[in-house]
């Protein structure tokens, strides 16, 4: 009997030692570059333990399974996990039970169009440009809030997102629309809709404001200029709408030329009065607030000042003087830049040129 008890005791010590080594000592059976483990939805504890052992994340599948079954109230969450250093099986269990899946950040800047976002997500290898544009072209996710929206343009809220390595394009736009809904609820509850715009109209106007000026303090004033021109039925003559029209038609070459301003499209605010059919970009909260409550102003015109902002005018004559001043400043900057290139000792002066990235002063003149 003592012999049997002794053997049993020794056996328990061996098992305890084996479990201790398997569960408590850090282990790395994968390369120094790290390894990904994709846990399928609905996978059993046994199959997950097998996946982890095959990937070199845990030392022994049976020890990990025993550990997970000793904690039946903890669920091992589905998702993709990344391991890049030696870890204990206990740490691996906590990672999976806590659902700490691998994610990558995606930063969408304010004013990006769905075309810009599509290029960005393809460059960062989240999904393809074509798949993203296909998902963003379907307005169904926003139809209840903006029935007239032709696509999800304007509703892909600019923010920082976390996605797995290979999300579906549908999941990506769903997250962006969800964020828009949250931001819109906050903005619309805090800001009086003085112009009585629909959601689609407000977001459309906000997108024009966003693309026209990078300066948050200018946005209410730019919105006020557009509101004045809308009230007087003057064409908005907003260059970014022409760019967007060309992008929709697949004819945008990277810069806007004067010859493209007459391009026929319902989005072209040189050819058509009123707002475009839908947004031309995805505005942030400041532009949404500006669109809902534009600044009261007597201005009807604005043009770039070559310093990132704009010169505003009440009359066409004043606007023409501002345009002449803009062109004079632009010529001076180009002359200085040319001189600095010919003289290596001359420091290059920083400063922006153009109107919020546009090729022509905007709005330019009334018909």
Domain 23-97 class in CATH: alpha beta
Q: What is the pTM of this model?
A: 0.81
Q: With pLDDT > 90 as the criterion, what percentage of the chain qualifies?
A: 71
Average of pLDDT values for 309-338? 88
Q: Return d(Cα 290, Cα 201) in angstroms, integer.
A: 13
Average of pLDDT values for 92-100? 94
Residue-level pLDDT at 1: 64
The 10s digit of each residue's pLDDT in 20-45 is 556 768 888 889 899 999 999 999 99
Q: Distance of CA 163 to CAs 233, 283, 327, 358, 366, Å?
A: 44, 21, 45, 32, 46
**Using 50, 70 and 90 to split pLDDT, how confident is the model at 8?**
low
Average of pLDDT values for 66-90? 92
Closest CA to 205 of 188, 223, 193, 186: 223
**Do the Cβ atoms of 215 and 308 come closer than 8 Å?**
yes
Residue-level pLDDT at 345: 41
Average pLDDT in the chain:
87
Strand-pair partners of 79: 39
Cα 201 to chain centroid distance, Å, stands at 21
Average of pLDDT values for 113-122? 97
Residue-level pLDDT at 361: 45
305 or 367, higher pLDDT: 305
Residue 365 pLDDT more than 60? Answer: no
Residue-level pLDDT at 188: 94
Q: Return d(Cα 115, Cα 133) in angstroms, integer.
A: 7
Residue-level pLDDT at 219: 95
Residue-level pLDDT at 257: 87
The 10s digit of each residue's pLDDT in 153-205 is 999 999 999 999 989 999 999 999 999 999 999 999 998 898 899 999 999 99
Which residue is associated with the tokens 């619309």?
188
Q: Return d(Cα 195, Cα 275) in angstroms, integer.
A: 13
What are 120's two structure tokens?
């960005």
Among 2-6, 54-58, 62-66, 327-331, which stretch is predicted with the lowest mean pLDDT? 2-6
Q: Return d(Cα 67, Cα 137) in angstroms, integer.
A: 47
The 10s digit of each residue's pLDDT in 282-301 is 999 999 999 999 999 999 99
Residue-level pLDDT at 200: 96
30 or 240, higher pLDDT: 240
Q: Which class for 122: exposed (0-12), middle (13-18), buried (19 or more C-beta within 10 A)? A: middle
Question: What is the H or E stretch that residue 80 is in?
Answer: strand 79-83
Residue-level pLDDT at 333: 82
- Say how many C-beta atoms besides its own lie within 10 A of residue 274's C-beta: 14
The 10s digit of each residue's pLDDT in 324-364 is 998 988 888 888 777 666 554 433 222 222 333 333 444 44
Q: Where are the domains of the chain?
A: 23-97, 114-339
Residue 91 pLDDT more than 70? Answer: yes
Strand-pair partners of 129: none
């Amino acid at each position: 009997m003592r012999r049997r008890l002794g053997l049993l005791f020794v056996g328990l010590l061996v098992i305890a030692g084996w479990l201790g080594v398997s569960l408590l000592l850090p282990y790395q059976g994968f390369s120094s570059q790290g390894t990904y483990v994709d846990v399928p939805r609905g996978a059993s504890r046994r199959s997950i333990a097998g996946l982890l052992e095959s990937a070199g994340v845990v030392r022994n599948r049976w020890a990990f399974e025993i550990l997970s079954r000793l904690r039946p109230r903890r669920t091992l969450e589905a998702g993709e996990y990344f391991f890049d250093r030696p870890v204990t099986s206990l740490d691996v269990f906590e990672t999976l039970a806590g659902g700490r899946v691998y994610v990558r950040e995606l930063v969408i800047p304010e004013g990006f169009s769905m075309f810009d976002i599509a290029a960005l997500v393809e460059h960062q290898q989240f999904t393809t440009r074509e798949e993203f544009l296909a998902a963003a072209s379907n307005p169904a996710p926003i139809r209840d809030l903006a029935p007239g929206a032709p696509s999800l343009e304007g509703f892909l809220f600019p923010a920082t997102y976390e996605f797995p390595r290979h999300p579906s394009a549908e999941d990506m736009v769903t997250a962006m629309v969800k964020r828009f809904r949250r931001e819109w609820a906050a903005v619309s509850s805090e800001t009086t809709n003085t112009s009585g715009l629909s959601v689609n109209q407000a977001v459309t106007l906000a997108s024009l404001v966003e693309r026209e000026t990078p300066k948050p303090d200018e946005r209410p004033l730019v919105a006020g200029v557009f509101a004045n021109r809308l009230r007087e039925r003057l064409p908005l003559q907003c260059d970014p709408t022409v760019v967007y029209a060309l992008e929709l038609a697949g004819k945008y070459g990277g810069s806007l030329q004067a010859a493209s301003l007459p391009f026929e499209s319902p989005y072209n605010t040189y050819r058509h009065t009123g707002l475009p059919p839908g947004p031309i970009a995805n505005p942030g909260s400041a532009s949404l607030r500006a669109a809902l409550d534009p600044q009261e102003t007597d201005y009807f015109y604005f043009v770039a000042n070559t310093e990132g902002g704009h010169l505003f005018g009440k009359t066409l004559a004043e606007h023409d003087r501002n345009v002449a001043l803009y062109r004079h400043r632009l010529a001076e900057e180009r002359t200085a830049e040319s001189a600095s290139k010919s003289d290596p000792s001359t420091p290059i002066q920083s400063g922006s040129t153009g109107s919020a990235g546009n090729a022509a002063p905007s709005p330019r003149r009334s018909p």
